[in-house]
Chain A
Amino acid sequence: MIKNFLSEYKYELLMVLPAVLIIFIFKLIPVIVSFSMSLTKWRIIDTPEFIGFDNFVQLFQDPNFWNAVWNTLFYGILIIPSVLIGSLAVALILNSLKKGASFYKAAYYLPMTLPLSIAAVIWRGGFFGTFGFVNNTLTKLGLNSIQFFSVNLAKPSISLVYLWWTLGFCSLIYLAGLRGIPKTRLEAAEIDGANTFQKIIYIIWPSLKPITLFVALYITQTTFRIFSAVFAMTGGGPSRSSEPLLYYTYNWGWQNFRMGYSAAASVVLFLMVISVYLFQSYILKED
């Protein structure tokens, strides 16, 4: 039977196996190891000791953990819809421009060429800082300067950097999706007298669902593991107001060396992203 299976799916297996194997070895096995770590008490120097779900119990009792969960969701609520809607709008605009689209495309893509860890340093001091570009300009205009990294504004400021960083790239993905819609379908709709709005609702949007699911998941996982920008800009502060869950994980694991506890927090993060994915793929179900 196995022999039959192998010969029937010879090509398919050849096409999938190398990729699946590499992912399995370098991502899934380490993750299984790290999930089993979450059931242990381990401080790197000693040997891991099995303690069942104690880490999770402790986690759920820590107000800082819930604060980090809330912050992560807050980033998600700010960033995911704005990037999704923004990049689709930008892609639709670029797609209907007769001239200059390739110039805009190249320019919009620029932010992502700056590694986020470095771009964030520049945004922090050069742009958002007390003497940065924005506040310098405001002072010159005789306006009050803005404290971008105060308790209330830290999360929106970081989210703005994420929007800046991902917007152009996500619209490129959408643009590729738009180009994938068969011209004949759009022409047929035009002959039937559909206007731009109707074309977007009845033809473009349904054809874009698979790509939207991709962009949505891309931006969700980027947002939920928001880290390097926070690291470079606020360090999670002031008073933990911008600390996301991954940062909490990092602090417990790599600063306090409680590896088991840190792994437990990352299990929660993983479950959060997976449930958002399942939710999104349910909403954007392909027929």
Chain B
Amino acid sequence: MKKEGLLHVIAILVLVFIMIPVLWTFRLSLSQTYSANVPLIPSEISFDNYTTLFNGTSFLTWLKNTVIFATVVTFLNVLFAPSAGYVLAREKLPGSKFILLGIVSAWVIPWLTVLIPLYIAMSRLGLVNTFQGLILPLAVSPMAIFLARQYISNIPIELEESAIVDGASKLEVFFKIILPMSKPALMIVALMSFIQAWGNFILPLILITKTSMKTLTVGIPELQQQGITNWGIISASSIFGILPVIIIFIALNKYFMEGLAMRTGMK
């Protein structure tokens, strides 16, 4: 009991460190201010920043674009990562180690280094200012494959072997054993690819020129007027931009828990 209390104290300290900037952002969004020097408790709460955001700017269009972009990217990654990760974890193909090194190399390359060749390719394919152009480069995240691979390599191989002895086919082993057991990792893959698309700055920056196709990351900075930072509106847009991600998190968390129930049930 005493131990539980101590753990809560540490957890709350971490919580304070993490939450203060977020709460401060929320606080800033409630005042119309061009300075960050505002009192801790606002004298009057105004939601004007939020109304300006919805009526006076293209915020909602950017939000819609970002949601479409991030959702499709997440879906594709959850589709591709576990199967590739499984084959690489069990080294089912000759040259798996080599493929893995290729994937890791692809992961560590900053987008900045490939921008020019990527832009040339995209404009040849006619994918500038389209969703396909944004989605394809992120559709298969090397990071997601690597995570799936690392997680799956921890699943006891005996489970698979006994299933094969029982006459299960290769595909059945994957769908009936590996996939259900990797649910916690798949949740992380989903979150990670969602965030990668959600927070991606550099791809939309070079691939999107039309205002109607912009995402939040390139749209929000445009709300700053020449040289002056409107803290209120920047904060309001950041706070509102968080909401969809929280919804996704809560939705995925349910699956995460389901995966756990299944796992403890299996032992």
Instruction: Please give the residue numbers on chain A whose beta carbons come within 8 Å of chain B beta carbons, in ascending order.
Output: 9, 11-13, 15-16, 18-20, 22-23, 26-31, 33-34, 37, 90, 93-94, 96-100, 102, 104-119, 121-123, 125-127, 129, 131-133, 136, 164, 167-169, 172-173, 176-177, 179-184, 207, 210-211, 213-214, 217-218, 221, 224-225, 227-228, 246, 249-250, 253, 259, 263, 266, 269-270, 273-274, 277, 286
Contacts and interface: CB of A to CB of B under 8 A. Distances in A.
A126 B231 contact: yes
Contacts of B114: 27, 30-31, 33-34
Given A15-B83, A28-B105, A104-B11, A122 B238 contact: yes
A227 B84 contact: no
Interface string B82-99: 011011100011000001
Contacts of B242: 110, 113-114
With a 10 A CB-CB cut-off, give which of B24, B103, B151, B154 has the most chain A CB atoms: B154
Given A107-B15, A110-B242, A118-B221, 4 more contacts: A93-B10, A113-B242, A133-B36, A270-B109
Given A107-B18, A110-B18, A11 B170 contact: yes
Find the residue from B86, B104, B220 having the highest chain A CB count within 10 A. B104
A158 to B, nearest CB: 14
Contact of B253 (A106, A107, A249): A106
Contacts of A266: 110, 112-113
B108 A114 contact: no
A281 to B, nearest CB: 9
A176 B256 CA distance: 9
Interface in B252-266: 253, 256, 260, 263-264
Nearest to B200: A115
A93 B7 contact: yes
A176 B184 contact: yes
B151 A176 contact: yes
Nearest to A109: B249
B201 interface: yes
A23 B7 contact: no
B255 to A, nearest CB: 12
Contact of A97 (B8, B87, B103, B249): B8
Given A26-B137, A34-B113, A100 B253 contact: no
Contacts of A16: 83-84, 87-88, 93, 99
Contacts of B145: 19
Contacts of B171: 11
A114 B221 CA distance: 13
A97 B7 contact: yes
Given A30-B117, A34-B113, A218 B143 contact: yes
A15 B146 contact: no
A225 B110 contact: yes
A31 B113 contact: yes
A169 B164 CA distance: 36
Contacts of B110: 225, 227, 246, 266, 269
A182 B11 CA distance: 25
A52 to B, nearest CB: 20
Interface in B110-160: 110, 112-114, 116-118, 121, 136-137, 139-140, 142-143, 145-147, 150-151, 153-156
B45 to A, nearest CB: 18
B22 A114 contact: yes
B199 to A, nearest CB: 4
Contact of B116 (A259, A277, A286): A259
A27 B238 CA distance: 30
Contact of B107 (A98, A108, A121, A217): A217
B63 interface: no
A12 B93 contact: yes
B241 A114 contact: yes
Given A16-B93, A31-B113, A274-B105, A125 B267 contact: no
Given A12-B87, A30-B117, A179-B184, A131 B37 contact: yes
Given A27-B106, A31-B109, A90-B14, A112 B195 contact: yes
Contact of A115 (B92, B142, B199): B199
Interface string B230-245: 0100110010011001
B79 to A, nearest CB: 9
9 contacts: A19-B80, A28-B105, A31-B114, A31-B117, A110-B18, A111-B22, A119-B238, A182-B267, A183-B264
Given A131-B37, A176-B187, A214-B147, A97 B216 contact: no
Contact of B18 (A111, A126, A211, A224): A111
A182 B113 contact: no
